[in-house]
Amino acid sequence: MQYPAPIAKLIDSYMKLPGIGAKTATRLAFYTLNMKEEDVTDFAKALISVKRDLHFCEICGNITEEKSCDICRNTNRDQSTILVVEETKDVMSLEKVREYKGLYHVLHGVLSPMDGTGPDDLNIASLIKRLHNNEVKEVIIATNATTDGEATAMYLSRLIKPSGIKVTRLAHGLSVGSDIEYADEITLLKAVEGRTEL
């Protein structure tokens, strides 16, 4: 038996989300069907708002509603340090620690030859452009401790070091193979404090 077209389309839409298979998508679709109409409307508005109202900061690549994000606009932050992360959610995780007071740069991924992701697919050119500012003294590379994350860190290190800027890597207080997003605040604090030069 085929599902009616609206529910089949909703199931297909849920399956486009990462980690959502057919069973979970079906469960979510039927849960949505049983929700109050106003809740479904609010959910739909939130989805549309994320696509229409958010974009990437023209300086660092973080998400923002403005041209530049709150962190880049904050003149009280340490302008001499840039912490490079894979994704915008990593910025949020590191900000929870409330110890790092510098700037960020979001790559929007990592180098991954297996997935066809090269340097031109990442937000690297704008990072190099930012380094022409004489205020930057250190770049902290905070890519995840995965094979692709390590390869990206080494690539960035080789790219940045000739400019004379200090390049450091987060200490491995983060377990190998883990994501910054899921680390607890103490682990992140120790990782930032114990960073080492590449």
Query: What pLDDT, on the 0 to 100 scale, is given for residue 136?
Result: 92
Q: Where are the domains of the chain?
A: 5-53, 73-197
Please report which residue ranges of the chain form alpha helices under DSSP H.
Answer: 5-15, 22-34, 37-53, 70-73, 88-97, 125-130, 147-160, 185-193
**5-53 CATH:** 1.10.8.420
Burial 6-28 (b: 16+ CB within 10 A, else e): eeeebbeebeeeeebeeeebbeb
The set of residues, in sequence order, having a beta carbon less than 8 Å from that of 99 and lying 6+ positions away, is 189, 192, 193
The candidate with the shortest Cα–Cα distance to 96, out of 1, 187, 5, is 187
Least confident of 40-49, 80-89, 93-102, 168-177: 168-177
pLDDT tens-digit series, residues 66-106: 999 999 999 999 999 999 999 999 999 999 988 899 999 99
Q: Is the pLDDT of residue 176 over 80?
A: no
**Helices and strands, counts by H and E, the chain:** 8, 7
Topology classification of domain 73-197: Dna Topoisomerase Vi A Subunit; Chain: A, domain 2 (3.40.1360)
Amino acid at 48: I
- Tell me what percent of the residues of the chain surpass a pLDDT of 70: 96
3-state secondary structure of 107: coil
Q: Name which of 2-6, 59-63, 87-91, 184-188 the model is least confident about.
A: 184-188
> Are domains 5-53 and 73-197 of this chain identical in fold?
no
